[in-house]
Structure 1
């Protein structure tokens, strides 16, 4: 096995890794605030809003991500009446599925974090004259972050691995190019390289979240 072969295989795989990383960043940036917003809606006193939020979380967590990917990529255009307005390119449709799926999981993580905050914290904030907004931003959210960081880190690592599902809807990403190289050359080397790239990505995420945990532990 020559260096020329390795470099020739790695070049398209690294290009595919760019798609993997882009989808991951897009999904994280959008799904985290979406999840927090859904968490607040789940606690809403307006029952219809709370019911919609709970139903969304139940459906997205109760069905496979693969099924959701297939639905958004191939099912949306088939919806009667509105399907013609819901035709997206494969990456956009897949990104929408990832965002909605992980938004639901983050909503549950954040809900657990909020439930861990003692009610006495809210009462103490009221005694100090803090508004609801100040209580949420200065008291509740900082404590919630400490609680949810480990689960958020775990979910983020799962997300970077789940991006491989793009292969099933024909979006060229890391695994797509690895599989193409294996089929062409009848060698396992591309799979090994893909595994190393995934391990490096998860290592970066692990180190990032460990630094965050240390920061919030010592604050």
Structure 2
């Protein structure tokens, strides 16, 4: 199931060097991904808002635009995964890029087979391939058991299938806004057409009732929700 979903992933390339962009697009289309290419930040935001994406390949040197600023906006306000593909190869550049919240950092010249492997690795994490537990700080979500544990307080709570999958989405993108459409995609749907807001409300109530304070879910206006870890 996860493998099929990965191969249907939508990838948006931001790259102002046409030969490299065309080469990446050609290889990724051959792998079965949906691929779009833009050459500027303004064009990227128009395309992303219109069509969305699962993964962004982001060049950092875009003329007058700085890809780091785009990355910060993406991490703060969207659920999309980000791989930086750039000529900036200094250690401090890599650290800065990863500290923005990017999922990976690849230095040019690009080896296309390595790029393909890194994309698969990021998408496996993005879609939760093969995992049965997710741990963020002291919080452990057991997917099959549909149970959340908090190591600090030694407390636990039981969740429904939909609540488990919604919480898994939030934990995989901890610190980032996750939109409602993502929370209610085919992997978190259950009969009854209950909204993401209802499910999230139930999760928040269960966290309070169980006295589990290591996770907090915050609404993000106009987008959806963000999960934060609370450390003592």
The answer, yes or no, to whether TM exceeds 0.5 is: no
Q: TM-score, normalised by structure 2?
A: 0.28
Structure whose residues are more often helix by fraction = 1
Q: TM-score, normalised by structure 1?
A: 0.29
Structure whose residues are more often strand by fraction = 2
